[in-house]
Amino acid sequence: MTASSVQADSLPRPRLSPPPLAIADGSLELVKWVALVLMTLDHVNKYLLGAGQPWMFDLGRLVMPMFTAVLAVNLARPQARERGLYRRTLGRLLYFGTITTPIFLAIGATYRDTLWPLNILFLLASIVGCIWLIEIGGVRGWAGAAVVFLVGGMAAEYFWPGALFGIAVWFYARRPSWTAAGVALLGCAGLYAVNGVWWSLAALPVLWLLPRLKLRLPRLRLAFYVYYPLHLAVIWLVQRAMAHW
């Protein structure tokens, strides 16, 4: 063995870095529209077909991770907080989440005619609140984020695993690390406790493939916010019509 080979063996091996989560705007829009279609199928199955179509239920489990990842990646953009993105997004989520609440209750999405759990827009709002407070930093910021995480994860559907997934994806999108990737995987896998199936994990390969696509799709900023209560209202009207047949 030569001196040069010994010296080479003694050098530290380069660490394998996780790939960045840089997704083109058009690809993010594609994720939202695919998730919108799957969400509609899932809600039609649940509220109109008596959950009688397992394939629609399974595909519907991809929706929450997909929407949450889009939100997290957008919030991870440079200077997002300084440009007011956090404030605008939080305001829209709380506004449309409140509008959706009576429809959510009427359609039978809550437990025994109570307001619990709140709809997913409130969970997304809690993710934004946690991220905002984490960015503020300090003891107060992190303590506030912990409170929002606990309360939001208890009050809204998909609960703590969903909130954990969103926050971890934001961390990863800002600064890729295996720790953030592992926590995101843990949060996504934890959705099994909510769904009873592992299909939420199928969203991860989709998010891994997206950075390889360079699509150009128009960005409709308020489309999802408006569509969410609107499609539930339509399903509720169909429910009422079917009840009188």
Over range 77-92, report the average pLDDT: 95
CA atoms of 228 and 96, how far apart (whole Å): 8
CA atoms of 204 and 189, how far apart (whole Å): 10
For residue 130, the model assigns a pLDDT of 98
One-letter amino acid of 187: G
Helix residue ranges, H only, the chain: 3-10, 25-47, 54-60, 63-75, 85-106, 120-136, 138-155, 159-174, 178-190, 192-195, 203-209, 223-243
Asked whether the CA dihedral 56, 191, 27, 230 is positive or negative, the reply is positive
Q: Which residue has the tokens 């991770």?
A: 65
The proportion of the chain whose per-residue pLDDT surpasses 70, expressed as a percent, equals 93
Residues 157, 117 contacting (CB under 8 angstroms) = yes
Over range 68-92, report the average pLDDT: 95
For residue 218, the model assigns a pLDDT of 76
Q: Going by C-beta distance under 8 Å and a sequence separation of 6 or more, which residues neighbour residue 57?
A: 42, 45, 46, 51, 197
Gyration radius of the chain over CA positions: 20
Over range 129-137, report the average pLDDT: 96
| pLDDT(157) > 90 | yes
Inter-CA distances, 2 with 5, 8, 9, 12, Å: 5, 10, 11, 18
Q: Which residue has the tokens 């660490």?
A: 15
Q: What are the beta bridge partners of residue 118?
A: 156
